[in-house]
Amino acid sequence: YIKNTNMQYFVEIKMTNDKGRGVFAMKDFEKDEVIEICPIIFLDDSEAKDCDPTILGHYMYEWNHEHDGALPLGYGLLYNHSFEPNAVYERDFENNQMIYKAIRNIKIDEEILINYNGEPDNMDPYHFTG
């Protein structure tokens, strides 16, 4: 699990019933509370293109524009998708990191879910690039 004494956040990886691994709360999170800050590995256009057909293509986020990418470290690659998320990710371009925040209260042992489309209410079908 991750424990950062400066931020006091707690998450762990557990198996879900239907999605493989997932990120779960080890404490109650309040709405707008930061869950995790993940540094990213930036991939330029050609590196992102090379990753697309690999397993990494399933985990890559768009970063500055449609053709580059980012791979968050920490547990950033393991948050599962939901069209009813309880968390959101924000790109911090200045510090090259991804910030995961609660968008509603999250209870201990609850899976932390994000909408892969970025915006919590975006109901467009999502697709993997790889």
112 three-state secondary structure: coil
d(Cα 52, Cα 17) in Å, to the nearest integer?
27
d(Cα 93, Cα 105) in Å, to the nearest integer?
26
State mean pLDDT over 64-71: 88
d(Cα 58, Cα 52) in Å, to the nearest integer?
8
Q: How many CB atoms are closer than 10 A to CB 52?
A: 16
Query: Which has the higher per-residue pLDDT, 10 or 46?
Result: 46
pLDDT of residue 106: 98
pTM, to two decimals: 0.85
State mean pLDDT over 58-85: 91
CA distances from 18 to 52, 99, 116 (A): 24, 25, 17
What the block records as the tokens of 29 is 């999170």
45 three-state secondary structure: helix
pLDDT confidence band for 9 (50 / 70 / 90):
low
State mean pLDDT over 111-121: 88
